Amino acid sequence: MAALSPSQSHSSGWLFCRAALAVLALAGLLLGGCQRQPLPVELSGATMGTTWHVTYLPVAGGLEPAEVQAELEDLLVAVNDSMSTWQPDSEISRFNRSAPGDWVPVSAPFAEVVAAALALGDLSGGAYDVTVGPLVELWGFGPARPRMDLPSAAAIRERREQVGQQFLELDAARGRLRRLREVELDLSSIAKGYAVDVLAEALAAQQIADFLVEVGGEMRVAGLSPRGDAWRVAIERPQPGARSVALGIALTDAAVATSGDYRNYFEVDGRRYSHSIDPRTGRPVQHDLVSVTVIAADCMRADAWATALTVLGAEEALALAEAQGLAVYLLRRDGERIVPVYSSAFEPWLEASNQTH
């Protein structure tokens, strides 16, 4: 993973980095300090069952904002047409209907995302698995109605037979993919991050140097904010029913993604069951790690790593982050307290954050 450096800033006003499906609060972005010229452009819309936002400083002779919006929307439609399991005619849906053993031609972007997912699954020891969908459905976190009871051990065993990325075989050189068993591919844990990268690269291709791209809470920034300093991102404190800041960080030319289990869960007999399913056990995670934030060069991997580390738990997640050189900020629950833990690669951002106060 490419090395990243933190940015130092001395102004106030934070953007929230939240768990999946959260909404980025852009209000207040331009408050305080002097704005640079030209004035920033803000674009937004809906995609992937959530929202997207882009803020950028236009360049002389560049496209009009309406043209930029149209281009970005076309790119998001293309990602959905490729990777949305909600669309029956999408590339991923067609693959999931293929006969086991049959090679299926796949597009280069699709192969790129699948390759990244499979590699991360191997690095995480199976904590991350893009075939986990049947278990997510079983526990009531899919499109079907939420569960009001617990699945039986037999049902869990049956669904686990339908899970395993080892039953996927990618031939990237020939642009083809096949499944060796009737597993189903689900890229929802990486596709939003990939979409962020697609939009970011499109803006960079237009010679736009200063921008923020956000899809469903995952984001990537480049250059400087409209105030002329680093982009400011707030990591949310994991409190159900409330929103507060656990840590603020200043970013330039980096991506950030957060995953947590404190908003999407259900309770049975006083026990909480998280939407974070461990593919290795077939059950929701039961550890004290409640939020994981990852800073990386690209959002696709930041998104997937945040999911994988959430499954692992604080100790394993921190050990893996150190081994992989990941900049990771973890929040774990200790009784009534929320305790931060972070990797050595995250320390420079923490130091830069402390200098902003």
Question: Do 343 and 221 sit in the same domain of this protein?
Answer: yes
- Which range of residues forms the domain containing residue 151? 91-188
Question: Do 163 and 297 sit in the same domain of this protein?
Answer: no
Question: What CATH number should be reported for the domain holding residue 148?
Answer: 1.10.3980.10
- Is residue 323 one of the residues assigned to a domain? yes
Question: What CATH number should be reported for the domain holding residue 338?
Answer: 3.10.520.10
Q: How many CB atoms lie within 10 A of CB 30?
A: 16
Domain boundary among 156, 188, 220: 188
Place of tokens 């020891």: 125
Bigger pLDDT: 319 or 337? 319
pLDDT digits (tens, 9 = 90+) for 66-79: 999 999 999 999 99
How many domains is the chain built from? 2
Q: How many CB atoms lie within 10 A of CB 160?
A: 18
Question: Do 107 and 155 sit in the same domain of this protein?
Answer: yes
Question: Do 102 and 161 sit in the same domain of this protein?
Answer: yes
Sign of the alpha-carbon dihedral angle for 288, 290, 295, 298: positive
User: For residue 353, what is the enclosing H or E element?
Assistant: helix 347-354
pLDDT value of residue 242: 61
DSSP three-state, residue 92: helix
pLDDT digits (tens, 9 = 90+) for 220-259: 999 999 999 999 988 887 766 666 677 889 999 999 999 8
User: For residue 314, what is the enclosing H or E element?
Assistant: helix 314-324
- Is residue 83 one of the residues assigned to a domain? no
Question: Do 173 and 257 sit in the same domain of this protein?
Answer: no
Predicted confidence (pLDDT) at residue 178 exceeds the cutoff of 70 = yes
First-residue to last-residue Cα distance in the chain = 30
pLDDT digits (tens, 9 = 90+) for 191-228: 999 999 999 999 999 999 999 999 999 999 999 999 99
Sign of the alpha-carbon dihedral angle for 149, 154, 155, 157: positive
* Helix ranges (DSSP H) in 36-148: 65-83, 91-96, 108-123, 133-138
pLDDT value of residue 234: 87
pLDDT value of residue 147: 63
Q: What is the mean pLDDT of the chain?
A: 84
- Is residue 209 one of the residues assigned to a domain? yes
Q: What's the average model confidence in pLDDT over 269-297?
A: 81
Predicted confidence (pLDDT) at residue 351 exceeds the cutoff of 60 = yes
Contact 166, 279 (CB under 8 A): no
Predicted confidence (pLDDT) at residue 137 exceeds the cutoff of 70 = yes
Picking from 292, 280, 295, the residue whose alpha carbon sits closest to that of residue 121 is 280
Domain boundary among 188, 211, 246: 188
Place of tokens 């669309």: 87
Pairing mode, if any, of strands 15-17 and 231-236? parallel
Domain boundary among 155, 188, 221: 188
